[in-house]
């Protein structure tokens, strides 16, 4: 019975290699089995229509948006759809109390009104190429893990650099796949002039806020519209009033036909990272260290931010973007740890590893290479456990919590001798951070972080400032923080200005914030050095484990973990059963918006302007209504996504746009580690709702007229 249970569990674990709805597939490496499965599910496009390095294809309409999200090109004049939360920082930067685009939304009535965003870029993938043999050709059998890593990294940089050397408008990046067992070159072209065109009010784009984040049913109109600009030759160019809208290679057509349960659906975008092949030891470390540190420290920090944001509109605008980013990962960590426990992920991983142990024992060639694999992995994770935990809390408490420390470190590490463009952009970033900083809030956050860190780690890992607090401030963290901020010139841009102007009366290394930053970097370096040996062996062990899994299940159709490169996932539109006695439908409608508003009176997460409620209540949805006359808002599919997929295009069988992916679901938050076919869902905003809001609420029919809408 025990063996039978293990085999069933292992088969369940490896549904990732056999289910049509799982996998983040490389477009340039779709094998026959994957293409066949897609056709069987209903795909009506050939593989070369999805990806071709020589002629326009669907991949040419999909972009990496800013390096942290995805987007899709929807007009001949370079309009890009992405998520509202992906454009949130840009909307915030253009907002003020007088022009509150976060609250009221933004519409450019003409090209001249479109707002530039110097920090943004979009990246188009041109082609991919397998360079594994060349990269691993630099590895010698006599090399240890550090030497191997150095040789591999050097060769990756050389191959990538050759692309830009041949064509300065291109960028070559070599990425590792399958734990460093394969390497692929991606060739990109970036466009750096990206302008804000349309943003719905946050009551639409962020409807539900933290309450609904990662939760289904969802009623969030999570979309934003930007435009790509180029020079008059349609080539990449830095921002200039002389630039013109970019004319793309391929424009994604839009479907108003919608979907039904079981409809084919595929998602194209740039998922950030997954750990589907990670050992059980690595999962335990992730749960107890990095995830728990985010949960604890960010929870304390965000409570302070949120309290002040709710009190003051000026603070709300200043802190909106950083709160949004922080809270997203905070809730993700909570959900991930919860799902790992509830779904028995560790037990499933351990069962698979037990089966792998048997296979190694039964194969002499594998036994010779891997006999100590699991013993070594367990030992090395154990050897770095306490330092790794302390480092996770250290980073959250001192590098991500007090912004004064962040600013000090930015200034300390700033490359003033770099290219003019880089220097200017870096200085703008620092000035922008100052403009969105409230010192009283930052002091309270720092004080709280000091207390939280001390309560969570062993005294061995306390920085020297705790001794200073005890000896000079009688153990009063607040008194220490008040003194630090009072004596540092870096609490405002004044100190940076004095430093840049070479003011002889100001020695930046004597500034207490800089001194603290140096102490923090020194301690972080010491922690890394303590973990160096076990970490090196862990990297090696995880790579060997990845390779062993693929050899053991050689007949299965494997896909590599996400690594911020373009990926395709496919499956069907489908509801699910979250728990016994409950059934979740595959879509939501505008009725749900009205119901949530009514049920949550007084809750700012569900506050919606009266004019929006009136519009949704009217029932006048025009051509954007479904066959029942209803306005669909969101829908779900079993497409396999993760962070970075936000803004990814969700296409039907013909390659027509159905909507934009923007979230996963709470019941399957462990999906970065293990795909759960019965539970995992991709939440998307319906393109018809997007167009309805643009046209009917935003009165921006000129934007809709640019689109290629299928009859």
Within 68-112, residue ranges assigned H as helices are 84-93, 101-104
Distance of CA 468 to the CA centre of its chain: 38
Inter-residue long-range contacts of 240-246, CB under 8 Å, 24+ positions, other chains counted: 240/193, 243/193, 245/77, 245/78, 245/111, 246/77, 246/78, 246/191
Secondary structure of the chain: what % helix, strand, coil (to 5)?
Answer: 50, 15, 35
Q: Which of 335, 371, 297 is nearest to 665 (CA)?
A: 335
Of 89, 90, 95, 646, the catalytic one is 646
Q: 316: how many CB neighbours lie within 10 A of its CB?
A: 23
Whole-number Å distance between alpha carbons of 174 and 183: 7
The Cα-based distances of 9 to 16, 46, 552 in angstroms read 13, 36, 16
> Cα angle at 483 between 480 and 488, to 5 degrees?
125
The Cα-based distances of 127 to 57, 595, 651 in angstroms read 11, 47, 21
Written as one string, the DSSP assignment of 413-437 is T--TTS-HHHHHHHHHHHHHHHHT-
Whole-number Å distance between alpha carbons of 602 and 608: 11
Which position has the token pair 């590098």? 399
Q: Which of 518, 514, 513, 489 is nearest to 501 (CA)?
A: 489
Whole-number Å distance between alpha carbons of 268 and 270: 7
Name the 3-class secondary structure at 462: coil
Whole-number Å distance between alpha carbons of 319 and 329: 16
Q: Which of 189, 196, 218 is nearest to 205 (CA)?
A: 218
- The interaxial angle of helices 345-362 and 512-552, nearest 10 deg, is 50
Whole-number Å distance between alpha carbons of 428 and 426: 5
Whole-number Å distance between alpha carbons of 271 and 255: 24
Q: 324: how many CB neighbours lie within 10 A of its CB?
A: 20
Sequence-ordered strand ranges (E) for 206-300: 224-230, 244-245, 264-269
72 forms beta bridges with 62, 81
Whole-number Å distance between alpha carbons of 515 and 499: 15
| 222 noted as active-site residue | yes
Whole-number Å distance between alpha carbons of 64 and 534: 35
Q: Which of 704, 668, 710 is nearest to 689 (CA)?
A: 704
Give the containing element (helix H, strand E) for 129. strand 122-130
Whole-number Å distance between alpha carbons of 473 and 483: 10
Of 222, 640, 663, 672, the catalytic one is 222
Within 457-558, residue ranges assigned H as helices are 465-472, 477-487, 493-500, 512-552
> Which two three-digit tokens encode residue 95?
């907002």
Q: Which of 700, 575, 583 is nearest to 634 (CA)?
A: 575
- What is the torsional sign of CA 617, 647, 117, 314? positive
| 646 noted as active-site residue | yes
Of 70, 77, 84, 85, the catalytic one is 85
Name the 3-class secondary structure at 289: helix
**Strand 264-269 to strand 657-664: parallel, antiparallel, or no bridges (unpaired)?**
unpaired
Active site residues: 85, 222, 646
């Amino acid at each position: 019975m025990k063996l039978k249970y293990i085999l069933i569990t292992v088969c369940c674990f490896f549904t990732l290699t056999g289910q049509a709805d799982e996998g983040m597939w490389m477009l340039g490496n779709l094998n026959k089995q994957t293409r066949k499965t897609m056709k069987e599910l209903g795909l009506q496009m050939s593989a070369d229509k999805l990806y071709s390095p020589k002629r326009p294809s669907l991949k040419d309409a999909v972009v990496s948006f800013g390096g942290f999200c995805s987007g899709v090109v929807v007009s001949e004049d370079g309009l890009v759809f992405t998520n509202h939360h992906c454009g949130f920082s840009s909307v915030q930067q253009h907002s003020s109390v007088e022009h509150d685009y976060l609250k009221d939304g933004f519409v450019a009535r003409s090209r001249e009104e479109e707002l530039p965003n110097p920090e943004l870029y979009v990246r188009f993938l041109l082609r991919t190429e397998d360079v594994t043999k060349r990269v691993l050709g630099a590895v010698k059998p006599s090399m240890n893990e550090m030497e191997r890593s150095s040789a591999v990294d050097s060769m990756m940089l050389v191959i990538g650099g050759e692309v830009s050397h041949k064509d300065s408008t291109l960028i070559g990046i070599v990425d590792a796949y399958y734990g460093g067992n394969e390497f692929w070159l991606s060739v990109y072209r970036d466009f750096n002039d990206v302008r804000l065109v349309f943003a719905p009010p946050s009551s639409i784009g962020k409807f539900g806020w933290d309450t609904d984040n990662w939760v289904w049913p969802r009623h969030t109109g999570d979309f934003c519209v930007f435009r790509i600009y180029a020079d008059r030759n349609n080539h990449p160019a830095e921002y200039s009033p002389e630039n013109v809208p970019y004319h793309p290679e391929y424009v994604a057509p839009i479907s108003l036909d919608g979907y039904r349960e079981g409809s084919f659906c595929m998602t194209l975008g740039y998922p950030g990272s997954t750990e589907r092949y990670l050992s059980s030891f690595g999962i335990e470390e992730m749960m107890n260290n990095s995830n728990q540190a985010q949960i604890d420290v960010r929870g304390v920090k965000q409570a302070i931010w949120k309290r002040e944001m709710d009190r003051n509109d000026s603070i709300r605008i200043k802190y909106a973007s950083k709160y949004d980013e922080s809270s997203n990962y905070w809730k993700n960590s909570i959900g991930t740890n919860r799902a790992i426990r509830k779904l028995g992920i560790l037990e499933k991983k351990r069962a698979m590893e037990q089966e792998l142990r048997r296979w190694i024992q039964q194969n002499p060639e594998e036994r010779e290479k891997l006999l100590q694999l699991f013993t070594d992995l367990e030992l090395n994770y154990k050897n770095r456990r306490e330092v790794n935990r302390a480092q996770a809390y250290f980073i959250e408490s001192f590098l991500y919590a007090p912004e004064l420390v962040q600013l000090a470190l930015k200034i300390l590490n700033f490359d003033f001798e770099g290219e003019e463009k880089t220097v200017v952009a870096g200085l703008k970033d620092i000035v922008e951070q100052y403009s969105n900083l409230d010192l009283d809030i930052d002091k309270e956050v720092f004080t709280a972080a000091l207390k939280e860190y001390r309560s969570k780690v062993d005294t061995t890992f306390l920085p020297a400032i705790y001794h200073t607090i005890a000896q000079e401030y009688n153990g009063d963290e607040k008194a220490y923080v008040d003194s630090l901020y009072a004596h540092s010139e870096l609490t405002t841009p004044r100190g940076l200005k004095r430093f840049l102007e070479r003011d002889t009366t100001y020695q930046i290394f004597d500034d207490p914030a800089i001194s603290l930053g140096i102490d923090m970097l020194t301690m972080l370096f010491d922690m890394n050095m303590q973990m160096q040996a076990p970490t090196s062996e862990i990297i090696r062990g995880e790579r060997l484990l990845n390779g062993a899994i693929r050899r053991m299940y050689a007949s299965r159709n494997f896909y590599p973990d996400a690594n911020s490169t373009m990926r395709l996932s496919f499956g069907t539109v489908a509801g699910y059963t979250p728990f016994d006695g409950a059934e979740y439908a595959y879509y939501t409608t505008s009725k749900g918006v009205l119901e949530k508003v009514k049920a949550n009176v007084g809750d700012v997460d569900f506050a919606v302007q009266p004019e929006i409620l009136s519009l949704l209540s009217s029932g006048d949805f025009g051509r954007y209504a479904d066959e029942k006359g209803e306005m669909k808002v969101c829908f779900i599919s079993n497409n396999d996504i993760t962070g970075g997929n936000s803004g990814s295009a969700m296409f039907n069988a013909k390659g027509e746009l159905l909507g934009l992916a923007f979230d996963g679901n709470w019941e399957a938050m462990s999906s970065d580690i293990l795909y759960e076919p019965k539970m995992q869902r991709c939440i998307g905003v319906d393109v018809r709702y997007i167009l309805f809001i643009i046209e009917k609420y935003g009165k921006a029919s000129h934007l809709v007229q640019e689109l290629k809408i299928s009859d």
